[in-house]
Chain A
Amino acid sequence: MANLGRIVSVSGSLITAVFDQPVVQNEVGYAIIDDLRLKAELIRVRGDYADLQVFEDTTGLYVGGQVEFTGEMLIAELGPGLLGQVVDGLQNPLFDLAAVSGYFLERGRYLEPIDRERRWAFTPRARVGDAVRAGDTLGSVPEGEFEHRVMVPFGLTGWLTVKDLIDGGEHAVEDVVATLEDERGRSHEVTMLQRWPVKLPIRAYRERLRPQEPLVTKIRIIDTLFPVARGGTSCIPGPFGAGKTVLQQLMSRHAEVDVVVVAACGERAGEVVETLREFPELTDPRTGRSLMERTVIVCNTSSMPVAAREASVYTAVTLAEYYRQMGLDVLLLADSTSRWAQALREVSGRLEEIPGEEAFPAYLESVVAAFYERGGLVALRDGTQGSVTIAGTVSPAGGNLEEPVTQSTLKVVGAFHGLSRERSDARRYPAIDPLDSWSHYPGVVPGADVAFARALLRSGNEVAQMMKVVGEEGTALDDFVRYLQAEYLDAAYLQQDAFDPVDGASGAERQALVFGELVRMLRSPQPHADKDAARRFYQHLTQATKEWNRAPWGSPEFDAARERVHSLAEVTEVHAHA
């Protein structure tokens, strides 16, 4: 017997329904117009009235209309076949939707994200009689380059005994592969398909570990100066046009991880299109396979219904956690968490809650914190490790980092990559501000060198500020050289040409070598006759180092370019001593 309610009010995406049987907070309901069923989530109960946010356009709903409560929270389907998919915030596969509905996103049309027909070669990994717990591996199927683990459903509690386990063979995701018996003697049938409520973290692991190993993004300014750790969290705030999205696209391409989940949340559709059209054509240098095979795109772009925007980040992080359970390193890129916060604000406004700063709800901070806490490095019960690294962009209103979303994010992340309009206007890409950004994680180069570089950049900036007042003439030669050194480090190392195939992606080994040599050069004092000579010297050195950056790692050109940089540095020293 379906649990039905009746609509008593409609305002934007928020509806209120009166009910008489018990309902569950955050359960999914469907608002019904004729044969259309619009998915909604119950977000508040007051007396006999339930407030639901509808994930679709509410045109046509009416007072007295039916709401069907399902008793189940908003879930994600988990199973083999997720990689390579493009889904919306409610996990509807967009290409399948297009095949059914054409150009437009038809409301009330929901498709299963996981193919029910496709058959997977199952290999059992447990034995009948084994004692297992939620998250333990029962078997596996090959998905792309990975062994996709078929696990004990995360929702089962306590110890279970494997009563029955099929032998290998080709199976569809809904076929029963195992039967388990719990401590109270109840039996549970397990398929390759799990359903998990997206707003709850998956915790079927032994323990959380401290993230310490750097996650190489091949972006020099990040890996060297402001590293992100495997299982760590970072945020990228910046004004419009500073390159947040480009930076995330670069990370999604080059980061050394197993799986990338892209959550395009409330941003431009065009950017998602770039990823979903280009990735199938690009090769992952680590595996030689298409980049799309390691990528999942969850997109709720800015013109798609706002209520589903909130769901999209949760769906994305749930998928990321699922692959972490298989011992994989997953990178979740959320662009942009501000749009998600705005969705919260819209709903909060409609609920007539007392607003906090800039009308964001008072619970914004705890919601943001809980989201980033779903990242992390974990030790699984079989001893392997998996990680979810979260990098979220923030789009602060007016580029002002004091605003609530940036501030609540900064409190909970381990690295801050602040983009600056000044740098992007000067075409200094990536426009991460080397003076304001920070990271708590260890990087790919020695800490002492990083400290030296940061001190140099700071003092170079001080000289630059001073020069604006007193001019070049009024600046001492030593100070001027420090300024040039900082500019050199910026131009020749921190800046990177994303369009150059070699310069665009710089490996960890290469960074350690180049940065080490640069720091050594910068540390040894280099006397110059006058400012013009100093300027010429650093111009030439910059030119030579940039060419070095464009030479492929391990090629003869690399050695030649390196030699040129060396000889330039040395010749001047000799010349100056003479």
Chain B
Amino acid sequence: MHKAYTRLERITGSVVAVSAGDATYRELAQITWEGGSSLAQVVRLEGGRAFLQVFAGVRGLPTNARVRFLGRPMRVPASDALLGRVFDGAARPRDNGPEIDEEGIDIAGPSVNPAKRIIPRTMVRTGIPMIDVFNSLVESQKLPIFSVPGEPYHELLARLALQAEVDRIVLGGMGLKHDDYLYFRDTLDAAGALARTVAFIHTAADPTVECLLVPDLVLAVAERFALSGQRVLVLLSDMTNYADALKEVAITMEQIPSNRGYPGDLYSQLAARYEKAVDFDDAGSITILAVTTMPGDDVTHPVPDNTGYITEGQFYLRGGRIEPFGSLSRLKQLVNASTRDDHRPLMNTMIQLYAAYRETLEKRAMGFRMSDWDEQLVRYGEGFEVRLMDLEVDLPLERALDECWRLLADSFEPAQTGLPTALIERHWPAAA
């Protein structure tokens, strides 16, 4: 039995200190006082004192609160009983459902031995042409969705949760507006997708420290599912809130900030989470998509910048669409050779023509005369935006490729596309 302590010696930021000689590093403690209780974790040991980060925050915390050490680090249940459930950042039910009574697994576990990883080889189909056709998502890939507030990134995440061809979805919300949380819940519920989903949601109204736990809870559960052979898609939003929570806590802990107030270990902290993405040789996989809002639409801001160095490409969500320029899936070459013979050439041609359309638009805006070719490009570009780029479009890869051919045929002569003749003969739609 662990001893209890009833004298807090210091309360600063979200951290309290207690004279407890027998505490161990990262151990969890239960703090209870009249009117409240919270979990707390040892973040520093010094002399006879243990410094604890209080998950629920320290507002209203009396110095005579009772601190009981639990002799174990933070754990989370990770069985199939979690499916369909929503939890908060301290792994308590948020959906009025019952507590899950399980031993649980440690969060933030060790990293995978690189020798046990394999080169990814399986595409994750999402039904979103801008992803499937142009920047295929690959199992075990980690990709941020770079965006700015106001863009429909939650709609995109919800669509991915509904459409992606995976076995399990683990959703992590950090600093979400309560409305957004309800949106996710209702959308998944209405489509019947909750049954394969587990969600850990921290809302903006919840204590900051709980925000820090969300990615670790999500990834620990995902890792357990993956080890049991499931293909897991992890959706996180918003990693910038997570980084800001790190910043807040680091500064109250008096750590020296490195860049714009963020702690010096921001890269390592983000990497430790993103690197949980994995494809096991003889088990399942974890794929991570994480919304990262860019403060001031600035990709050189420390959060998107550090993220870009960690992830395997990025999607830019701008103007309600996944931008074809700048967006990149670094792993797509590993899978798009074996989908269909026209996939790669079509992908390149479509983007080149779309780039030409953008130039034509500039030309038109400056008042230059439009040639026939320009008119064709405009017809093509507008069609591209409506028929493929719109986030509402839901097409399996093969049908999306067919749609690409129809789009080309509606605007161009075969020879104008520069596609190989053999492909044109096979795929060019017959005149209606």
The complex places the Cα of A273 from the Cα of B117 at a distance, in Å, of: 7
Contacts of B90-141 to chain A: CB distance below 8 A: 109-120, 140
Q: B24: CB under 8 A from chain A? A: yes
Nearest-Cβ distance from residue A115 to partner chain B, whole angstroms: 16
Residues of A within 8 A of B280 (CB): 103
CA distance A59 to B268 in the complex (A): 17
Mark the stretch among A218-226, A393-401, A411-419 that contacts chain B. Answer: A393-401
A342-B302 Cα distance, complex, nearest whole Å: 14
Let me know if B118 and A273 touch, CB within 8 A: yes
On whether the beta carbons of A98 and B113 are closer than 8 Å, the reply is yes
CA distance A58 to B45 in the complex (A): 11
User: A97 at the A/B interface (Cβ < 8 Å)?
Assistant: yes
B64 CB to closest chain A CB, in angstroms? 23
**Distance between A157 CB and nearest chain B CB, rounded to angstroms:** 39
Contact (Cβ within 8 A) B47 A270:
no
Let me know if B258 and A302 touch, CB within 8 A: no
Interchain nearest-CB distance for B350 vs A (Å): 16
Query: Are A301 and B114 within 8 A (Cβ)?
Result: yes
Contacts A63-B21, A268-B312 given; indicate if A302 touches B114 (C-beta within 8 A): no
Residue contact B44 to A11, C-beta cutoff 8 Å: yes
CB distance from A21 to the nearest CB of B (A): 22
Contact residues in B for A359 (Cβ distance below 8 Å): 256-259, 264
Q: Let me know if B119 and A60 touch, CB within 8 A.
A: no
Pick the interface stretch among B271-279, B397-405, B415-423. B271-279
| Interchain CB contact under 8 A, B265 and A62 | no
Q: Give the complex CA separation of A61 and B258 in angstroms.
A: 28
On whether the beta carbons of B111 and A241 are closer than 8 Å, the reply is no
| Pick from B111, B264, B276, B309: contact of A345, CB under 8 Å | B264
Once bound together, how far apart are the Cα atoms of A343 and B267, in whole Å? 10
List chain B residues, Cβ under 8 A from A346.
Answer: 264-265, 268
B289 sits at the interface (CB 8 A): no
What chain A residues lie within 8 Å of B272 (beta carbons)? 302-303
> Complex formed: what's the CA distance from A40 to B23 in Å?
21
CA distance A106 to B110 in the complex (A): 7
Task: Output the least CB separation between A273 and chain B (Å).
Answer: 5
Please indicate the chain A residues that have their CB under 8 angstroms from the CB of B300 in the complex: 397-400
Asked if B308 and A57 sit within 8 Å, CB to CB, the answer is no
Per-residue contact bits, chain A 381-425, to B (CB 8 Å; 1 contact, 0 not): 000000000000001011110000000000000000000000001
Contact status A302-B113, CB under 8 Å:
no
Q: Is A102 an interface residue (CB 8 A)?
A: yes
Given contacts A60-B25, A268-B310, contact A103 B112 (CB under 8 A): yes
Nearest chain A residue, comparing its CB with the CB of B253: A11
Interchain nearest-CB distance for A125 vs B (Å)? 35
Per-residue contact bits, chain B 224-252, to A (CB 8 Å; 1 contact, 0 not): 00010000000000000000000000000
User: B residues within 8 A CB of A239?
Assistant: 308
Q: Is B318 an interface residue (CB 8 A)?
A: no
Residues of B within 8 A of A552 (CB): none
Q: Nearest Cβ in chain B — how far from A238, in angstroms? A: 10
The answer to whether B22 has its CB under 8 Å from any CB of chain A is yes
- Which residue of B24, B114, B314 contacts A61 across the interface (Cβ within 8 Å)? B24
Contact assessment for B44 and A10 in the assembled complex, using a CB-CB cutoff below 8 Å: yes
A285 close to B (CB within 8 Å): no
Assuming the contacts A8-B47, A303-B272, A303-B275, asked whether A270 and B115 have C-beta atoms less than 8 A apart, the reply is no
Q: Which residues of A are found within 8 Å of B256, using beta-carbon distances? A: 349, 352, 355, 359
A95 an interface residue at 8 Å Cβ cutoff? yes
Nearest CB in chain B: distance from A393 CB, A: 11
For B109, list chain A residues within 8 Å (CB): 104
Q: Is the contact region of chain A dominated by helix, strand, or loop, or is it mixed? A: mixed
A105 and B309 contact, Cβ closer than 8 Å, known pairs A9-B44, A303-B275, A342-B267 = no
Known A-B contacts A60-B26, A303-B272, A398-B300; A240 and B308 likewise in contact (beta carbons under 8 Å): yes
At the interface, yes or no: B296 with Cβ under 8 Å from chain A? no
A199 at the interface (CB under 8 A from B): no
Q: Of the candidates B43, B112, B314, which one forms a contact with A269 in the assembled complex, judged by CB atoms under 8 Å apart?
A: B112
Q: Contacts of B330 on A, CB cut-off 8 Å?
A: 241
**In residues 289-307 of chain A, which contact B (Cβ within 8 Å)?**
299, 301-304, 306
Q: Which of A61-107 contact B (CB under 8 A)?
A: 61-64, 86, 94-95, 97-98, 101-107
B302 pairs with A105, CB closer than 8 A: no
Q: How far is the CB of B229 from chain A (nearest CB, A)?
A: 13
Q: Does B305 contact A (CB under 8 A)?
A: yes
Query: Are B26 and A395 in contact, with the CB atoms below 8 A?
Result: no
**Cβ contacts under 8 Å, A268 to chain B:** 275, 310, 312
Question: How many A residues face the partner with a CB closer than 8 A?
Answer: 61
Contact B111 A11 (CB under 8 A): no
Contact A59 B25 (CB under 8 A): yes
- Closest chain B residue to A63 by CB distance? B45
A274 close to B (CB within 8 Å) = yes
Chain B residues with CB under 8 A of A57: 110
Q: Are A9 and B46 in contact (CB under 8 A)?
A: yes
Chain B residue at minimum C-beta to C-beta distance from A97: B113
- Return the CB mask of B281-311 against A: 1 if under 8 Å, else 0: 0000000000000000000111001101110
Residue from B21, B111, B227, B257 within 8 A of A301 (CB atoms): B111
Q: Chain A residues near B276: list those with CB within 8 A.
A: 303
Q: CB-CB < 8 A to A269: which residues of B?
A: 111-112, 114, 117, 275
**Is A206 in contact with chain B by the CB < 8 A criterion?**
no
Q: Is the CB of B48 within 8 A of A63?
A: yes
Instruction: Tell me if A546 is interfacial: C-beta within 8 Å of chain B.
Output: no
Give the contacting residue for B25; candidates A62, A97, A303, A355; CB below 8 A: A62
Q: Does B73 contact A (CB under 8 A)?
A: yes
Inter-chain contacts of B227 with A (CB < 8 A): 103
- Which residues of the other chain, A, contact B26 by a CB distance below 8 angstroms? 58-60
Residue B328 lies at the interface, judged by CB distance under 8 Å to chain A = yes
Q: A119 vs B259: C-alpha distance in the bound complex, in angstroms?
A: 53
Q: How far is the CA of A221 from the CA of B120 in the complex (A)?
A: 31
- Measured in the bound complex, the distance between the Cα atoms of B110 and A18 in whole Å is 29
B115, A95: Cβ atoms closer than 8 Å: yes
- Interface residue B255 (Cβ < 8 Å from any Cβ of A): yes
Q: Is the CB of A299 within 8 A of B114?
A: yes
Q: Is the CB of A59 within 8 A of B258?
A: no
Q: Are A302 and B24 in contact (CB under 8 A)?
A: no
B115 engages A301 (CB within 8 Å):
no
Kindly list chain A residues whose C-beta atoms are within 8 Å of the C-beta of B328. 241
Let me know if A42 is at the binding interface, CB within 8 A: no
Q: Among B45, B255, B272, find the residue whose CB has the most chain A CB atoms closer than 10 A.
A: B45
A95: nearest chain-B partner, CB-CB:
B115
Q: Which of A336-391 contact B (CB under 8 A)?
A: 339, 342-343, 345-346, 349, 352, 355, 358-360
Q: How far is the CB of B399 from chain A (nearest CB, A)?
A: 29
B314-362, CB < 8 A from A = 314, 325-326, 328, 330-331
Give the chain A neighbours of B302 by CB distance below 8 A: 397-398
Asked whether A176 is an interface residue with its Cβ less than 8 Å from the other chain, the reply is no
Indicate if the CB atoms of B265 and A276 lie closer than 8 Å.
no
Interface centre among A10, A299, A345, A346 (most CB of B within 10 A): A10
Q: Which residues of B contact A (CB under 8 A)?
A: 21-27, 43-48, 73, 109-120, 140, 227, 255-259, 263-265, 267-268, 271-272, 275-276, 280, 300-302, 305-306, 308-310, 312-314, 325-326, 328, 330-331
A-B contact list, 20 entries, CB within 8 Å: A9-B44, A11-B46, A57-B110, A59-B24, A59-B25, A63-B47, A64-B21, A94-B114, A97-B113, A102-B113, A105-B113, A106-B110, A269-B117, A273-B118, A302-B310, A303-B271, A349-B263, A352-B256, A358-B258, A359-B258
Shortest beta-carbon contacts, A-B, top 4: A398-B300, A302-B271, A303-B275, A240-B308
Task: Taking A9-B46, A302-B310, A346-B264 as given, write out 19 further A-B residue pairs in contact, using a Cβ cutoff of 8 Å, ordered by the A residue number.
Answer: A7-B45, A58-B26, A59-B26, A59-B73, A62-B45, A63-B21, A63-B45, A63-B46, A63-B47, A97-B115, A98-B113, A103-B113, A103-B227, A270-B117, A302-B272, A303-B272, A355-B256, A359-B256, A359-B259
- Residues of A with Cβ closer than 8 Å to B? 7-11, 57-64, 86, 94-95, 97-98, 101-107, 239-241, 266, 268-270, 272-274, 276-278, 299, 301-304, 306, 339, 342-343, 345-346, 349, 352, 355, 358-360, 395, 397-400, 425
